[in-house]
Amino acid sequence: MRIYLAGPLGFSEAGRAFVPKLKRLLAANGHRVVDPFALTDTSKVQRMRYGASKRAAWRKLDREIGAANRAAIDRSDAIVAVLDGSDVDSGTAAEIGYGFARGKLIVGYRGDFRLSADNEGSTVNLQVEYFIRESGGDIVAFAADLPRALAKSARSRDKSARPARRK
């Protein structure tokens, strides 16, 4: 499967160090991984001095990033969403919602053991969790479980998409 890797990992040094591990894990199981942080070069704007020019450059680049990410989700078969943090990253939540609306399989990964749910019945924000589970996906607590969850979720979706046999 072609998998879009949603999450805030590209914004921090620690996150950028973890992305290759996720990519290797998924690639080792036959998946092609799309890292949205690799789709658009932000380095030139990041190096600019603060001020009006930098703000204008970011506004232009933000539209490019959004359009590139939307197109990458459209071309993907599934989304793996990193759900770590005290709350699910707002951009990740938007990508989950968009992916669900486009019929993508979504599997969440929450390796963060802090509580982050709306109530005792959920793992994360109830709407985010709803979209993940209704897509046929699941939420796992260990990165090593992602390939199994993807395979199981894909099989489950395939079975539910088959027409019922007549007797």
Per-residue pLDDT at 147 exceeds 90: yes
Is 0.75 topped by the overall pTM? yes
Residue 163: pLDDT band (50, 70, 90) is very low
DSSP 88-139: --HHHHHHHHHHHHTT-EEEEE----S---SSTT-SS-HHHHHHHHHTT--E
Residue 78's DSSP bridge partners are 3, 105
Question: What pLDDT is recorded for position 161?
Answer: 62
Per-residue pLDDT at 110 exceeds 70: yes
Mean pLDDT for 92-119 is 96
Residue type, 35: D
Q: Assess contact for 73 and 99: CB atoms under 8 A.
A: yes
Domain layout of the chain by residue ranges = 2-161
Residue 108's DSSP bridge partners are 81, 139
49: DSSP letter: P
Could you tell me which residue, 55 or 45, shows the higher pLDDT? 55
What is the CB neighbour count within 10 angstroms for residue 108? 30
Per-residue pLDDT at 162 exceeds 80: no
Per residue in 4-41, pLDDT (tens digit) is 999 999 889 999 999 999 999 999 999 999 999 999 88
Residue 91's DSSP bridge partners are none
SS3 25: helix
SS3 80: strand
Per-residue pLDDT at 122 exceeds 60: yes
Per residue in 53-102, pLDDT (tens digit) is 999 988 999 999 999 999 999 999 999 999 999 999 999 999 999 999 99
Per-residue pLDDT at 164 exceeds 80: no
Per-residue pLDDT at 142 exceeds 90: yes
Least Cα distance to 110 among 139, 131, 136 occurs for 139
Q: Which CATH architecture has domain 2-161?
A: 3-Layer(aba) Sandwich (3.40)
